[in-house]
Amino acid sequence: MTFVQVLACVMAASAVAGQRQGQRAAVSPEAMLETTINRYCLGCHNDRTRTADLTLAGVSATNVAAHAPVLEKVLQKVRAGEMPPTGRPRPDAASAANLVAWLETELDRSAAAEPNPGAPAIHRLNRAEYRNAVRDLLGLDLDHARDLPADDSGYGFDNISDVLTVSPLHIEKYIAAARRISRLAAGTVTPRPVVEKYSPARGTANEAIDGLPPNERGGILFRHHFAFDADYSVTVRVRGRRAPGMPAPKLDVRVDGKRVRLVDADFDAQEANQGTRSFELRLPLAAGDHEIAAGFLTEYGKTEDSVTTVTDGYSVDYVLVGGPYEATGPGDTESRRRIFVCRPAVGQAEESCARQILTSLARRVYRRPVTATDIDPLMTLFAMGRADGTSFDDGIEMALSGVLVSPSFLFRAASGPEGGAPGSIHRISDLDLASRLSFFLWSSIPDDELLVLAEQGRLGEPGVLEAQLTRMLADPKARALGENFGGQWLQLRNVADWAPDPERFEQFDEALRYAFQRETELFLEYLIREDRSVLELIDADYTFLNERLAGFYDIEGVEGGYFRRVPLDGAERGGILTHGSVLMVTSYPTRTSPVLRGKWVLENLLGAPPPPPPPNVPALSDTAETSAGSLREALEAHRANPACGVCHSRLDPLGFALENFDAVGAYRTEDDGVPVEASGALPDGTAVNGSRGLRDVLLSRRQEFVETLADRLLTYALGRGLESCDRPAVRVIRRRVEAEDYRFSALVAAIVDSVPFRLRRIPES
């Protein structure tokens, strides 16, 4: 065969191969969906076996809308690489990616054609919202909800409307709280002396306290409401012993940050034997909230040749606040200024001024314009209180208690257009939008600016809404988003109750517990306030530390009790996964748990929670209590059971990547003399080596992370669990966040613009 003939044969063969490849490429995604289901899925997910209670029989590309809930599950599992299971035949990566892209497009197109925003139930204010609403209405920053029953949680949050039920106990407690709050706010409390005790909630004798001057130790800081202009006693109980050769310590007592007394806190012989002593001060104070602080100056704990500041072991045991004594009146408090926007003129009827006051209060607390139908019952209460009391203020106090137990205050219910047909979809009103925004970002009622814009019908305008979101996120009240959303999403609320084994973790104390929680709270506040990238939750190169926590993390150059932003260049830590708070609540009291940590990552960061363990599966061997090495061996034996291995192959590598951190978050390279092995491999073969490797894996799956964060934040914003009809909205949010450099403000704006947030379906019945 000549060269020309050979060349012709090669070209002909290439043409045939190209034609076949073109035929394969021409296979439509619609056909690929049916081919994939028939070849890889129907063996398990059919009408007969219904594995995982799921059947794909009858699902095809021609009925995407009808089978959207099922196809959403297929999309999630295929994209995450969880289906088909490891070891079973599966499509190649390119085919799977094409199928995922087509499913996203078709499901989103179907949802856009027929949006379904859901019909949320009536929403009772939870305890945090109740407390914040009273604070913002009356200027009383106290724990008004402390006696209310605890709120139930659903979908990971305590603001879910379906579980915020009302019992007879709720009604009783709401009435009691309303009477107590209205008396404090109106200044009608009887002036009889009482004594209240405050103990240091956190800190030890030699700890610096955030909020006190940096040169003080062993102190206390708290806020107290003083109901009258009067004299009050402040009794500071201290304990400690002065070391030989040390001067007497100085006790610094401050009110609202200003020193009111510097006391020589020396003990006489009897007191020294007991180790405690009390110092009492009598102070004239104006009515209202005041911050009380007491601590020991460290400069008086130095010896002549010392080069470092040390304390001599003195600390505040507790503080008693007594009074009022010789009260002169309720004073000009913030709450009274907010309530009494007018005063009846001498010799004129009081009803006109009372109606003006109650209209102003009810408008704010009901979150809408009010009518005579709203105010007339309150005027009846005013008349009752005026008759039973001795002054105009008594009548207002009684009417205010009625405002605070009104269903218009305690419940949020979106209004629909007049004549709207059941099942129809409409855009929520500006007034409902104002409430949704304020409870989402502030966990509280709208302020005047937001309410005025809503009343004018301007809040929904794009430029206006964008400006309001910027203002609201910059407001200090946005801390509630980090505390309430972040505290539940990241399970920070568990930090207060977690009890590590004191024998195994002697370095853990209450000051460290406080620092753990404060680090993560400040991190979230900073990320929100400075509009940082949400990817910094995974891989931030900074954190917030005080001296105690920096020492625990082995980070140098941090002194004092206040928290500050600290770079983590070259450190093993980075992002929330290496915060002591997260590491502790994902451990057992005696040891780490790769299973708990891996499950936490899957649930909270990747949105792929593992199913509950099957019945009759043996528990992990108790021998794993001893060391990191035995724990790995026990889990390897556990994974040998096929029923366990399916989930543990996903869980364990993610959890083992954090094994360099013990059960209270301290970094370690060995455990009981055995080197710690912080590595593993995911089912698809991806290696996960240490915390750095875990962060790289999560960043490579940032789409899943951003969608999970959007899912969690949208659930919190709506106060209901998400359904399959909400998944297209979550993807729209994710794409917008990606397009805007992952900024937190882009996430919030996309949620506020989403179908579930801005639209509402009128219930069928």
Name residue 764's beta-bridge partners: none
Same domain flag for 89 and 198: no
pLDDT at res. 641: 58
- Dump strand ranges (E) for 83-206: 123-124, 194-198
Residues 202 and 322 in one domain: yes
Q: Which of 113, 144, 159 is the last residue of a domain?
A: 113
Looking at the fold, whether 209 and 292 belong to one and the same domain comes out as yes
616 shares its domain with 638: yes
Residues in the chain: 765
Residue finishing a domain among 559, 585, 611: 585
pLDDT of residue 350: 92
Cα separation values, 638 from 206, 518, 579, 596, 620, Å: 46, 37, 29, 15, 7
Q: Both 563 and 627 in a single domain?
A: no
Same domain for 13 and 50? Answer: yes
In a domain, residue 469? The reply is no
Distance CA 265, CA 317 (A): 13
Residues 314 and 203 in one domain: yes
- Residue 497 · residue 152 · CB < 8 Å: no
* Residue 301 shares a structural domain with residue 199: yes
Closest CA to 662 of 561, 742, 752, 584: 584
Name the residue with tokens 């002065």.
242
pLDDT in tens, 272-323: 566 688 899 999 999 999 999 998 887 654 434 433 344 446 888 899 999 9
- Domain limits for position 714: 703-758
Q: What is the mean pLDDT of the chain?
A: 84
**What pLDDT, on a 0 to 100 scale, did the predictor assign at position 19?**
43
| Sign of the alpha-carbon torsion through 420, 423, 426, 430 | positive
Q: Does residue 24 lie in a domain region?
A: yes
* Number of structural domains the chain divides into: 5
What is residue 23's predicted lDDT score, i.e. its pLDDT? 42
| DSSP assignment letter at 136 | H
Same domain assignment for residues 720 and 694: no
Are 554 and 607 in a shared domain? no
CA atoms 110, 113, 115, 116: torsion sign: negative
pLDDT, tens digit (0-9, with 9 covering 90-100), for 451-505: 999 999 999 998 999 999 999 999 999 999 999 999 999 999 999 889 999 989 9
* pLDDT (average), residues 186-202: 88
Phi, psi of 430 (to 5 degrees): -65, -35
368: in domain: no
Q: What is the largest CA-CA distance in the chain?
A: 125
Q: List 524's β-bridge partners, or say none.
A: none
The verdict on 729 and 608 lying in the same domain is no
Radius of gyration (C-alpha) of the chain in whole angstroms: 31
Cβ neighbours of residue 18 under 8 Å, at least 6 residues apart? Answer: none
What digits encode the pLDDT tens for the residues 546-581? 888 999 999 999 987 789 999 998 768 999 999 999
Q: How far is CA 85 from the centre of its chain?
A: 34
Three-class SS state of 574: coil
Distance between CA atoms of residues 331 and 522, nearest Å: 35
- Of the chain, the end-to-end C-alpha distance in Å amounts to 84
pTM of the model: 0.88
Separation CA 481–CA 483 (nearest Å)? 6
Given 585, 603, 638, the domain boundary residue is: 585
Indicate whether 570 and 596 sit together in one domain.
no
Q: Has residue 447 been placed in a domain?
A: no
399 is a domain residue = no
Ramachandran category for residue 443: left, alpha or beta (phi over 0 → left; psi -120 to 50 → alpha): left
DSSP annotation of 578 reads: G
In the predicted model, what is the mean pLDDT of residues 89-104? 78
pLDDT at 244 over 70: no
| CB neighbour burial string for 631-664, b if at least 16 within 10 angstroms, e if fewer | bbebbeebbeeeebbbbbbbbbbbbbbbbbbbbb
